[in-house]
Amino acid sequence: MKSRWMRLIGLGLAAAAAFAACDLSEEESTYKYFVFAANAGAGKLSVFSMSASSGSLKEVEGSPYTVGGEPQSVAVDPAGQFVYVANYFSDSISAYEIDPLTGELTAVPGQPFTAGFGPYAITVEPSGKFAYVANADGGDVWPYLIDPDTGALAPYGSLAAAAGAHPSSVTADPTGKFLYVANAYSGNVSAFSINSASGALAAVPGSPFATGGYVRSVAVDPGGKFAYAANDTTRNVSAFAIDAVTGALTVVPGSPFLAGQNARSVAVDPTGAFAYVGNWGSSDVSAYTINSTTGALTAVTGSPFEGAYAPNAVAVDPSGKYVLVANYWSDDVSVFVINAASGALSELSASPYLTVEEGHPSAIAVVRIAQ
């Protein structure tokens, strides 16, 4: 197996070349793509390999894998070596090592790891040193130190930071300096600065920042300039400019921007050109272009796009070619091709792909691993 640092180097080079013109067969041989879908209803993690050239999915050997009760979130470390699942009912975190060739999983020693009360979301910050878990019922965020060799998590419960009511989403900015948490019941986003040595969190000035109703998801663009929050009950997206020094959020002119019914999840593509929102109630995906100067959103022609059924989570693959959607009620994953010029979506003819019968997929993540 490649060393963690060699894989980090490989992934860094891959990111630098992500949007250069390349032969698709070369892309297939240079990188492996894997998709992870957490099934809340079944307590299972489905794993698929994804074709770089077509976006088609194929379930890997051994999938689905047993995790804890009602998994609500899945995250992969930046090196593509470990995958983590937040288990809401079990108050635990499942952890697996990813085989870089096949995508098959091996349980990390010591897992599952203790979480707070009702872990609902998990993320790994860009250095891969720390993981953060938002505990919905505890109203706080726990930092974890990641063992770079085994992937084991050491909980820093003593460093827990208070968030709002029912924190449901957590993400770090691309610099690893700031952490943002969507608090569903509070209707706001908590913002923290990250201590690079200890992983401890400190509230940034002005935090928390008001959003729309029942905010369910928060995402940061790859340039670290803007943050977007999907608001379920107000059917819109709040947009913020990020202060690069303090991490504080300022409302973007024109925000909030109209989305579909019960906007549940938001993701930004790797170029920072487009944003996508999964609308649970209207069973579609809203697509937007992002103004690179202001962060304002403009609906893509043809948006919203059909082909999802109660989408609970949306992700964009690292190449920026595909949008993947976890469909809660149809127990499957939809794959859409992104029009690189307009941001418009077209669903693959073979989509959607079954996860687990009555699995109710609730979260999705995609990783690209250099070979």
Query: Comparing C-alpha atoms, which of 141, 120, 139 is closest to residue 186?
Result: 139
Specify the residue for token string 């009702």. 118
pLDDT for the residue numbered 29: 72
If 0-12 CB within 10 Å is exposed, 13-18 middle and 19+ buried, where does residue 167 land? buried
pLDDT for the residue numbered 10: 40
pLDDT for the residue numbered 158: 75
pLDDT for the residue numbered 26: 60
pLDDT for the residue numbered 27: 62
- CB contact at 8 A, 131 and 124: yes
Q: Which two tokens stand for residue 36?
A: 């992870």
pLDDT for the residue numbered 157: 64
pLDDT for the residue numbered 14: 38
Q: For every one of its 371 residues, what pLDDT tens digit does the chain have, with 9 covering 90 and above?
A: 333 333 333 444 334 334 343 444 566 679 999 999 999 999 999 999 999 999 999 999 999 999 999 999 999 999 999 999 999 999 999 999 999 999 999 999 999 999 999 999 999 999 999 999 999 999 999 999 999 999 999 987 678 999 999 999 999 999 999 999 999 999 999 999 999 999 999 999 999 999 999 999 999 999 999 999 999 999 999 999 999 999 999 999 999 999 999 999 999 999 999 999 999 999 999 999 999 999 999 999 999 999 989 999 999 999 999 999 999 999 999 999 999 999 999 999 999 999 999 999 999 999 999 99
pLDDT for the residue numbered 320: 97
- CB contact at 8 A, 269 and 250: no
CA distance 316 to 262: 20
Distance of CA 152 to the CA centre of its chain: 20
- CB contact at 8 A, 310 and 280: yes
Distance of CA 87 to the CA centre of its chain: 15
pLDDT for the residue numbered 95: 98
* Residue 235 CA neighbour count, 13 Å, CB half: 8
Dihedral, 59, 168, 15, 288 alpha carbons, nearest 10: 100
At residue 331's C-alpha, the angle toward residues 330 and 335, to 5°, is 85
Can you spell out the DSSP letters for 248-291?
-EEEPTT-SEE--SSEEEEEE-TTSSEEEEEETTTTEEEEEEE-
CA distance 95 to 75: 10
Distance of CA 55 to the CA centre of its chain: 18
Contacts of 205 (CB under 8 A, 6+ apart): 246, 248
Omega prior to 64 cis, within 30 of 0: yes
CA distance 193 to 177: 6
- CB contact at 8 A, 322 and 335: yes
Phi, psi of 300 (to 5 degrees): -70, 145
Distance of CA 125 to the CA centre of its chain: 12
pTM value surpassing 0.85? yes
Phi/psi zone of residue 246: left (φ > 0), alpha (ψ -120 to 50 degrees), beta? alpha
Contacts of 334 (CB under 8 A, 6+ apart): 307, 308, 311, 324, 325, 327, 347, 351, 352, 353
pLDDT for the residue numbered 156: 75
